[in-house]
Structure 1
Amino acid sequence: MNTIQPKEVEQKLNQGENLNIIDVREDEEVAEGMIPGAQHIKLGTIEERASELDSSKSYIMVCRSGGRSGKAYQILEQKGFDVTNMEGGMMSWEGPTK
């Protein structure tokens, strides 16, 4: 599994990199704040909504602690997507949220 540290994601965003971040948490979790620019697709809908994603792009998967995003990673990887899991999830995120 490809992984990335939250600090590295924050650095890339601060450097102006255009990252495709997908937050797979539930609505009430996302309401508490998510990484600016992230797209919200709940884990339970990721398989059916995969057609909304561009298979030529890379995606960083995010959840609360890294477990659910790991499941989303596996689903999308099996569909041929280039995915990376953010280790520690939002519990380890120290950057800004929206």
Structure 2
Amino acid sequence: MKGLIVLDHIEKITTDELQAKLEAGEKLELVDVREDEEVAAGMIPGAKHIRMGTIPDTLDYFDKDKEYIFICRSGNRSGHVCQYLQEQGYKVRNMVGGMLDWKGETEA
């Protein structure tokens, strides 16, 4: 299609793959982009909470040499964040299925 910009492929990680990495002690950069009331119900331990709407204003938090795994309720919003940040040159991965599929522990 004329004028259509095709984005690079967004890397994905499943909830099971992420849980296995965390249980193996891997140090990962997790970012939960849900709203405040959603994270109040629990987040993956170690995740940083940065609401989706504030991502453009918090780019100084991110390091282009690190990979970040983005999390939301179902994987849709985090996918949009991944697309945006990948366009800015960041290494990103989307947790598909989101917190709806997460079976691991959570913390308030």
Scaled to the shorter chain, the TM-score interval is over 0.9
- From 55, 67, 70, the counterpart of 2:64: 55
Extract unaligned runs of 5+ from structure 1.
none
Cα RMSD of the aligned pairs, angstroms, is: 0.6
- The runs of at least 4 aligned residues of structure 1 exceeding 6 Å deviation read none
- For normalisation by structure 1, the TM-score amounts to 0.98
- For normalisation by structure 2, the TM-score amounts to 0.89
Extract unaligned runs of 5+ from structure 2.
1-9
- What is the aligned partner in structure 2 of residue 66 from structure 1? 75
Alpha-carbon displacement from aligned partner over 1:50-97 (angstroms, at most 9, x marks no partner): 111111100001000000001110111011110000000000000000
Larger radius of gyration: 2
Percent of aligned positions with the same letter in both sequences? 51
- From 5, 8, 14, the counterpart of 2:14: 5
Residues matched between the structures, number: 98
Alpha-carbon displacement from aligned partner over 1:1-46 (angstroms, at most 9, x marks no partner): 2111001000000000001000000000000000000000000001
Matched, 1:20 2:29: yes
Matched, 1:83 2:92: yes
- From 28, 37, 41, the counterpart of 2:46: 37
Matched, 1:93 2:102: yes
